[in-house]
Chains A and B, each alone.
Chain A
Amino acid sequence: MNAPGRGDAQIVERGFQRYEGRRSGVPGAIRSVSWESIRATLGLGRPARTKIFPVIAVVIAYLPAVVFIGIAVLIPGDILDPEEVADYPGYYGFIILAIVLFAALVAPEVLVSDRRNGMLAMYLSTPLNRGTYLAAKGVAVVTTLGLVTLGPPVLMLIGYTVEGEGPGGLGDWLLTLVRIVLSGIAISAALAAVSMAASSLTDRRAFAAIGIVLVVFAAPVLAAALVEGAELSPYWRVIDISSMPFELVFRIFDQPGNFPELATWSVLASNLVWTIGGIAIVWWRYSKLVIAR
């Protein structure tokens, strides 16, 4: 190896300097805020205690899929068809609790924290405005919820496919994948809108989380009371936010679902109303918010 000579010496400047390069603008800001919100929700780059709850929710969501794949591996398909144990739309019945708890965790962390710790004013002093800020947060909530609404069925599809128990043929396989993706997005969007709406109405994360859980669990009780107790039209079921997203999943998979008396359009409309209504509440709340520092 040659020894370095005097001609090789150079001064490498370190320290703060001007930046004249490109800037990513609003799309980059949305991307960065979304990613940082996801990191905060999952406790990435944070102390271990902040990871506990997300890890528990994710484990609950994925555990049944792992078990079902294990069953497919251990028990031959001619003895027990794995989809008789749990098909894709039916899978959500096993993890609905994890999804609801995750929704109650994610949106308050993503929205309430910013209002409490001053980050909202910081973000709005960047290229973001209220609309693009909320878009970034919405992407973060939907994406994070997708971890428990989309991930487990996709894992199940891959596991079944590897074990030779998946959909027959590429066409059926792709159709199933599309149905899974649509289902995950539909559930995530509806629950994200409702949980973001609840989170926009209070500055306490605990209150927001409790509010989300109450809405989700009170809705089926109220719907049942109206339909079965008061013997009103079965279409009163559409107020049930905890059932309608999952009912829509059955319809996406072309199955009658738990409420076959409801037309598919009414199930779809219910989900759209919950989603758009939630977004409207969030927008109304943030458009009225005075942010002076």
Chain B
Amino acid sequence: MTNQSIGVRDANRTARLDTVTTIIEARGLVMQFPSTRALDQLEVSIPSGVTGLVGANGAGKTTLISLVLGLLKPSAGSISVLGLDPDTSGPELRAQIGYGPERNVFPDDLKAYDFVRHLAEVKGLPRDEARSRASDSLYLVGLGEERFRPLGTMSTGQRQRVKLAQAIAADPRLIVLDEPTDGLDPVQRDEMLNIIVQVNRDFGIDVMLSSHVLEEVERVCDHVVALAEGRLIAQGAMSELAGASGGIELELVDLADRPTSIDDVVTLLIGAGAGVRRSGVTLSVVGFPDDDLFDLAARSVAQAGARVRRLGQHRRTLDDIFATDTHVKPILDISATGMDGTTS
């Protein structure tokens, strides 16, 4: 690759970021299936870059992806992707999206090259262009030498790469990847994530990937949208949702003569307006500036007669977003977190 071409790509990317700042926007989105509500009043705004869609199985990730692609029609609310309505402008929109599904079942007899070439043609590329880009895409994902192997003979890792290759072959503006590292070992996972980052960084293609592995989302994504049971529980820049200070962490001693001391501390903290997540004898506390939290924790411990083993600042991770306990407040007040990471 020449330096000049890198410059052109960077310029392309910059131009794209200038023209589209919000690639997906959902307002009051509801998806009701006969027996379950998969998405409930979802308000999402996803900017350019690499966005992680996180949540446990059944959180609504795949449903949201299906709505983005226009595979499903929302029961209520609206969704806009690349400025288009998937329901009314589906063909035009989908020509600009590459999709890598979660499932790994593809025609076993088909060669990887034929699979990628065919889908590039279906996306509208002329035959000759589809042929050359199928090879280029497979080389990009590291399958250049394996491109004429039937899909049925490929490993899970290779199939994941083929899915990525077909998603990018037609040069989309946005690729949507559903669990792209599913079934991969740690080395393969790292390689796949590196390719995904490269696709965004070098070619300016926006990426939305779903995953239930929070660590990998933290590693590669610029933004995150977190879902739980069909509801939005967090969205924003990764730098704001993870890595920054996330309150304090308080490890207490389980005292035999004061068995309720830890519960008492939790009660006192919540009573003072703090958010608390308890994991055994460890409490994560948020809700005030760190200095105030330290003072509050010290007072609560003293009042409850508890004993402290460790007290320190808590570095926020995506795990915190999902950390909820039925008898304490969620640790992160998501509703107050804006897309730009500011809190109101």
Binding site for B on A (CB under 8 A): 11, 13-19, 21-26, 28-29, 32-33, 36, 40, 45-47, 50, 113, 116-119, 121-129, 132, 290-293
The verdict on B91 contacting chain A, using a C-beta distance below 8 Å, is: yes
Q: Which residues of B (97-132) have their CB < 8 Å from a CB of A?
A: 97, 99, 101-103, 105-111, 114, 118-119, 121-126, 129
Given contacts A125-B71, A127-B95, contact A16 B66 (CB under 8 A): no
Given contacts A113-B107, A118-B103, contact A129 B90 (CB under 8 A): yes
Decide: B71 and A122 in contact? CB cutoff 8 A.
no
Which residues of chain A have C-beta atoms less than 8 A from B63's C-beta? 292
With A and B bound together, what is the CA distance between A11 and B3 in angstroms? 12
Decide: B71 and A127 in contact? CB cutoff 8 A.
no
Q: Is the interface of A mostly helix, strand, loop or mixed?
A: loop
Decide: B111 and A15 in contact? CB cutoff 8 A.
no
Given contacts A23-B123, A40-B107, contact A127 B92 (CB under 8 A): yes
Which residues of chain A have C-beta atoms less than 8 A from B286's C-beta? none
Decide: B65 and A293 in contact? CB cutoff 8 A.
yes
The verdict on B239 contacting chain A, using a C-beta distance below 8 Å, is: no
Given contacts A11-B2, A19-B133, A117-B105, contact A126 B94 (CB under 8 A): yes
Decide: B140 and A16 in contact? CB cutoff 8 A.
yes
In the complex, which of the residues B94, B126, B137 contacts A127, with contact meaning CB atoms closer than 8 Å?
B94
Q: 1/0 per residue B71-91: CB within 8 Å of A?
A: 110000000000000000011
The verdict on B224 contacting chain A, using a C-beta distance below 8 Å, is: no
In the complex, which of the residues B103, B136, B171 contacts A15, with contact meaning CB atoms closer than 8 Å?
B136
Decide: B124 and A16 in contact? CB cutoff 8 A.
no
Given contacts A45-B114, A291-B71, contact A125 B133 (CB under 8 A): no
Given contacts A25-B95, A118-B106, A129-B90, contact A32 B118 (CB under 8 A): yes
- A112 → B minimal CB distance (Å): 12
- A189 → B minimal CB distance (Å): 25
Which residues of chain B have C-beta atoms less than 8 A from A290's C-beta? 33, 72
Which residues of chain A have C-beta atoms less than 8 A from B279's C-beta? none
Closest to A291 in B: B71
Which residues of chain A have C-beta atoms less than 8 A from B133's C-beta? 16, 19
15 contacts between A and B (CB under 8 A): A15-B136, A16-B203, A17-B5, A19-B129, A24-B126, A29-B121, A46-B110, A47-B109, A47-B150, A118-B101, A126-B95, A127-B91, A127-B94, A128-B94, A293-B101
Which residues of chain A have C-beta atoms less than 8 A from B111's C-beta? 45
- B174 → A minimal CB distance (Å): 12
In the complex, which of the residues B33, B94, B103 contacts A125, with contact meaning CB atoms closer than 8 Å?
B94
Which residues of chain B have C-beta atoms less than 8 A from A15's C-beta? 1, 136, 139-140
Which residues of chain A have C-beta atoms less than 8 A from B99's C-beta? 122, 125
With A and B bound together, what is the CA distance between A11 and B97 in angstroms? 31
Decide: A28 and B101 in contact? CB cutoff 8 A.
no
The verdict on B168 contacting chain A, using a C-beta distance below 8 Å, is: yes
With A and B bound together, what is the CA distance between A28 and B62 in angstroms? 28
The verdict on B178 contacting chain A, using a C-beta distance below 8 Å, is: yes
Which residues of chain B have C-beta atoms less than 8 A from A32's C-beta? 118, 121-122
Given contacts A50-B109, A291-B66, A293-B101, contact A23 B5 (CB under 8 A): no
The verdict on B12 contacting chain A, using a C-beta distance below 8 Å, is: yes
Given contacts A121-B101, A127-B95, A292-B62, contact A21 B126 (CB under 8 A): yes
Closest to A31 in B: B121
- B192 → A minimal CB distance (Å): 16
Closest to B95 in A: A127
Q: 1/0 per residue B56-67: CB within 8 Å of A?
A: 000000110110
Give the size range of B's interface with the partner.
35 or more
The verdict on B170 contacting chain A, using a C-beta distance below 8 Å, is: yes
The verdict on B69 contacting chain A, using a C-beta distance below 8 Å, is: yes
> Which among B63, B72, B105, B118 has the highest number of chain A CB atoms within 10 Å?
B118
Using A18-B9, A19-B170, A47-B150 as known contacts, list a sample of 13 further A-B pairs with CB atoms less than 8 Å apart, ordered by residue number in A. A18-B12, A33-B122, A117-B105, A117-B107, A118-B105, A122-B119, A125-B69, A126-B123, A291-B71, A293-B65, A293-B101, A293-B103, A293-B178
With A and B bound together, what is the CA distance between A227 and B137 in angstroms? 63
Given contacts A29-B123, A126-B94, A127-B122, contact A13 B62 (CB under 8 A): no
- B208 → A minimal CB distance (Å): 13
> Which among A21, A22, A24 has the highest number of chain B CB atoms within 10 Å?
A24
Decide: A13 and B1 in contact? CB cutoff 8 A.
yes
Decide: A122 and B1 in contact? CB cutoff 8 A.
no
Which residues of chain B have C-beta atoms less than 8 A from A113's C-beta? 107
With A and B bound together, what is the CA distance between A25 and B102 in angstroms? 26
In the complex, which of the residues A17, A50, A123, A125 contacts B136, with contact meaning CB atoms closer than 8 Å?
A17
In the complex, which of the residues B95, B106, B119 contacts A117, with contact meaning CB atoms closer than 8 Å?
B106
Closest to B205 in A: A18
Closest to B140 in A: A16
Closest to B38 in A: A292
- B33 → A minimal CB distance (Å): 8
With A and B bound together, what is the CA distance between A137 and B316 in angstroms? 52
Which residues of chain A have C-beta atoms less than 8 A from B102's C-beta? 293
Closest to B199 in A: A16
Which residues of chain B have C-beta atoms less than 8 A from A291's C-beta? 66, 71-72
With A and B bound together, what is the CA distance between A160 and B49 in angstroms? 67
Which residues of chain A have C-beta atoms less than 8 A from B103's C-beta? 118, 293
In the complex, which of the residues A14, A18, A118, A124 contacts B171, with contact meaning CB atoms closer than 8 Å?
A18
> Which among B5, B107, B136 has the highest number of chain A CB atoms within 10 Å?
B107
Closest to A133 in B: B122
> Which among B2, B92, B126 has the highest number of chain A CB atoms within 10 Å?
B126
Which residues of chain B have C-beta atoms less than 8 A from A26's C-beta? 91
- A46 → B minimal CB distance (Å): 5
Closest to A292 in B: B66
- A122 → B minimal CB distance (Å): 7
With A and B bound together, what is the CA distance between A17 and B126 in angstroms? 15
